[in-house]
Every structure is written in structure tokens, then in C-alpha cells.
Amino acid sequence: MSDRFDLLIRGGMCVTPNGIGEADIAVREGRIAAIGSLATVDAAEVFEARGLHVLPGVIDTQVHFREPGNQHKEDLESGSRAAVLGGVTAVFEMPNTYPPTTTRAAIEDKFSRARGRMHCDYAFYVGATPDNVGALGMLEQMPGVAGVKAFLGSSTGTLLLNEERDIAAALKAGRRRMAVHSEDEARLRERKGLAKPGDPRTHPFWRDVETARLSTERVLRLARAAGRRLHVLHVTTEEELPLLANARDFATVETTPQHLTLAAPECYERLGTYAQMNPPIREARHREALWRAVSEGLIDVIGSDHAPHTREEKEKIYPDTPSGVPGVQTLVTILLDHVGAGRLSLERFVDLTSAGAARIFGIAGKGRIARGYDADFTIVDTNAKRTIENSWIASKCGWTPFDGMTTTGWPVATIIRGQIVMRNGTLMAKGRGEPVRFIETLNSG
Ligand code: DOR
């Protein structure tokens, strides 16, 4: 074996399973080949990381990239460009596209569209419907598939799995962790009239706390009965947290940067429908409860739920406006700002954005800085202070709910399998993303 490495990341403060400390990292053939004091090694390329922190690559396990069907809002190229510019090295993309990702052909189509166009690594979820329940066990085994996603209440798109017998059948149909959007469809329909035309402040009253609590209570009961691992996406209420705390043997929990940062009614007064998403952003007491859940370890991952819609769509009259806000590009800086403010340690940031994703989805060879793992790094300057601006946003939607916010802590490089893909805000290498590999499906394909 030659002693020459492809890349040496020199002198950074590295967040490894040992803690935070200065180390050099050597990369060969896309993997971490050595960690330690490597001043004398020979490398084709050297990245000077002195004064910077080297984190495991950030994995965003919830994004909507709109392709196929709605490429006017986003596509796999533009969404993944936004990801790497924001310091994200891999994304799990959602199935509520047109057509939805519910068949083998639709999954194969997404992978063929992704090849050579996506800048970060990627996995795709398969959507559950009453009609494909019988096929889910097979579909979730396809290589690069992150797992099954079910919308228990309707949101953007047509995907819905709301009847109890269908939810139970989907839970029994497969074995991998199943992800759910947890809002109760019957209650959403009953309360639709509470969404007052022109007043997005009514969004969290229509889609109220009980809508989320009821659904989460039901799906936890059904998953427990089925003996199935469950992942509850974007949890937003204080009331769901004790239910989840009683299900830690099989359930994992996600929340989002926007639910940890914004609060009602202020966000609707300031941003109007640009703060409208499902489940909604709620009053400050829920935000504080989510922070407590972060510090108690009840939250496993933070996903952005990047859900771009055009300004034209957002500027219709509520509730004829689509729900969703972009976030894949702002996730890292928003969370680093919370680190700087003392709400989150850097170690917990890493736990929530890479180690947690690897642990709960069984990602093969990603999620930690360790020898033999993929050389995926999010290199950050924890002292850099800048203002987030719409003009920085690479998503086709061209806006962010965080426009005008000054944050401390910014990504300065995104390295994927040893390739420097973003440096100082510039895209350096294009379209080299590959499917994420999962431990449970290493043999399929
Ligand atoms: O606000 C949301 N927007 N919530 C979702 O569940 C879907 C997403 C979208 O695709 O726009």
C-alpha cells in the first residue's frame, strides 16, 4: 500500500467519537484512511483547516426536491446545489412528487434522473398509499431507498394513508424504519373552516395541537402492535413529547430548524404565508419544549423539511397557498448560530445531523469521522458572522424565511467522499453525488 494520500485536511478541530480535538485527516479513494498527527505525510491536495472545525458530513434526512413534476419550484440539480452550498453532504428526498414515488418504475426514474446531476449523495423515500401496501416490503429493499414514508394527514401533493387498517397494513408490510408525517386527517377535514381566508395566523388553529397529538398517539399504538420501528418526522408540539418518550424502544423523533427558531404568532405577522408549513410553526411554549427535548436526547435528528414553493404560489390568498418553506441551505448556519448562543453543543449538533441519521436509518459508512468511513466533511467557521439573504439562496424558489437574520457559524467547505464540492461559497465539483448505502440493503439490487 502506498503512503500517498489523495487529500490531507490539516490542523482542524475535528469532532470525532473521541471528542473535539485538533487532528489531521488523510483521505484515500474517498475514505478516511488515517486520523492523527500526520504532518509528514504525502498528499496530492492539502486543505488547511487551522482555525476551522471539521465535522462529519451533515445528512439532511428530509428534503423535497420536486422532480419529477414540479421542476419550476426545484429539481434534483438545484436542490442538491443548495444543499452543498449550505454544507450538507447527503439528502434523503421525499416521495410527494408527480408522479409520486410509489412504484418500482418511479423509484428507478428518480435514480436515473439523479445520476450525474446531483452534487451531494442521495437516498429516496418510497411513498405509502392504500394501493401499494402489498409492494412496500419489496420497494423498501431497493438500493438507495431510505425507507417508506407515509403521510397520515394530507399536505402538499396527493399522498395519503389515513385509514387505520391501511396504516396498520403498511406497518406490517415491511421491516425497515418507517417515516411518518403525523397529523390526523379526519380532524384536519373537520377543522378546515377554521383556516380564515387571508389570515395565515389561523394555520396553527386549523392544524392544531390535538391534530398532531391524536395522530402520533395512534401511529405509535399501531407501530407498537406491529413491532415496527417508526420515525416521526417534524414533531412540533409539547403534547406529543411524553408519548414519544414512552416509545423510545421503537420510535425515533425529528424536528426542524424552523420549529426550533421561529414562533407563532410573530412568524405569521412578519412573514405571512412564507411561514406556512405542515405541521405548523406554533407558539413559543412548543419551541421551548422542543429545545428541552433536544437537551434530554428525545430528538434524534434535525431535518430541514426543505419544501420550496415559488413566490407567486406563496403570494396567493391563504389558505390557497401551498405549505412549506425551504431550508436545506440554511440548516447548518441556523443550527451553528444556536451552538454559538449556547443552546446546543457542537457534539450534539453532530449527533443530530450526522450520527443520529446514520444510527436510525442504518447508513453504511457515513455519519462519523472514523477510519474506513466515507470522507464526508462539513467544515465550518464557528466565528464567521454573516447575514442570510434571499440572494444567497440557490433553490429555485429564491427565498428563505431567515432572510435578514445574522447568524454566527457558517460552512466554509463541503467535502463528499474526498472531493471538495464547495469551498468558500463556490461550487467546485459538479454532479458527483451517489446513492447512499444502507446496512439493511447492502445485498439487494
Ligand atoms: O409544509 C410542508 N410542505 N409539509 C409537508 O409535509 C410537505 C411539504 C411540501 O412538500 O411542500
Label residue 19 exposed, middle or buried (CB < 10 Å: 0-12, 13-18, 19+). Answer: exposed
Give me the count of residues in the chain: 445
Assigned domain for 289 exists: yes
> Do 330 and 418 share a structural domain?
no
Ligand 1 centroid, distance to 377 Cα (angstroms): 28
**Please, how many CA atoms are within 13 Å of residue 39, restricted to the half-sphere of its CB?**
4
Same domain, 266 and 336: yes
Residue 132 sits in a domain whose CATH number is 3.20.20.140
Q: Residue 396: what pLDDT?
A: 98
Q: Kindly state whether residue 159 falls inside one of the protein's structural domains.
A: yes
DSSP string, 118-151: -SSEEEEEEEP-TTTGGGHHHHTTSTTEEEEEEE
DSSP for residue 177:
P
Exposure b/e, 388-418, CB count within 10 A at least 16 = b: beeebbbbbbebbbbbebebbbbbbbbbbbb
Q: Which atom of ligand 1 is nearest to 308's Cα?
A: 11
Say if residue 131 is in the same domain as residue 228.
Answer: yes
| Distance of CA 21 from the midpoint of ligand 1 (Å) | 39
Q: Are the C-beta atoms of residues 278 and 212 closer than 8 Å to each other?
A: no
**What per-residue confidence (pLDDT) applies to 299?**
98
User: Are 213 and 100 in the same domain?
Assistant: yes
Report phi then psi at 150, rounded to 5.
-120, 130
**Residue 437: inside a domain, yes or no?**
no
pLDDT (0 to 100) of residue 1: 44
CATH number at residue 374: 2.30.40.10
- List of residues 6+ apart from 88 with CB closer than 8 A: 57, 58, 59, 60, 120, 328, 329, 331, 332, 378, 414
Strand partners, 78: none
Q: Is the dihedral of CA 327, 330, 336, 338 positive or negative?
A: negative
Whether residues 88 and 165 fall in one domain: yes
Indicate whether residue 258 lines ligand 1 (CB < 6 A): no
321 lines ligand 1 (CB under 6 A): no
The predicted structure's pLDDT at residue 39: 85
Measured in angstroms, how far is the CA atom of residue 145 from the centroid of ligand 1?
Answer: 20
Asked if 358 and 367 count as a contact pair (C-beta separation under 8 A), the reply is yes
State whether 25 and 88 are in the same domain.
Answer: no
Question: 361, 379, 414: which is the final residue of a domain?
Answer: 361
In a domain, 438, yes or no: no
Q: Determine whether 351 is exposed, middle or buried from the number of CB atoms within 10 Å of its CB (0-12, 13-18, 19+).
A: buried
The closest residue, in CA terms, to atom 4 on ligand 1 is 278
Range of the domain at 347: 57-361
- 62 shares a domain with 108: yes
Catalogue the active-site residues: 305
| CA–CA dist 15, 17 (Å, integer) | 7
Cα–Cα distance, 278 to 182 (Å, whole number): 10
Tell whether 126 and 255 lie within a shared domain.
yes
Residues 317, 305 within the same domain: yes
In a domain, 182, yes or no: yes
List the pLDDT tens digit at each of the 445 positions of the chain: 457 999 999 999 999 999 999 999 999 999 999 999 998 999 999 999 999 999 999 999 999 999 999 999 999 999 999 999 999 999 999 999 999 999 999 999 999 999 999 999 999 999 999 999 999 999 999 999 999 999 999 999 999 999 999 999 999 999 999 999 999 999 999 999 999 999 999 999 999 999 999 999 999 999 999 999 999 999 999 999 999 999 999 999 999 999 999 999 999 999 999 999 999 999 999 999 999 999 999 999 999 999 999 999 999 999 999 999 999 999 999 999 999 999 999 999 999 999 999 999 999 999 999 999 999 999 999 999 999 999 999 999 999 999 999 999 999 999 999 999 999 999 999 999 999 999 999 987 5
* Cα of 424 from ligand 1 centre, angstroms: 30
Examine residue 221 and state whether it is found in any structural domain, yes or no.
yes
User: Within a domain: residue 435?
Assistant: no
Domain membership flag for residue 399: no
Q: Are residues 217 and 94 in the same domain?
A: yes
What one-character-per-residue DSSP string does 318-343 give? TTSSPP----TTTHHHHHHHHHHTTS
Nearest atom, ligand 1, residue 66 CA? 10
Is 29 in the same domain as 62?
A: no
Count of structural domains within the chain: 2
Q: Is the CB of 307 under 6 A from ligand 1?
A: yes
- Testing ligand 1's pocket by substitution, the residue of 96, 182, 258, 396 carrying the most ligand atoms inside 8 A of its CB is 96
| Distance, CA of 361 to CA of 178 (rounded, Å) | 10
Is residue 90 domain-shared with residue 138, that is, in the same domain? yes
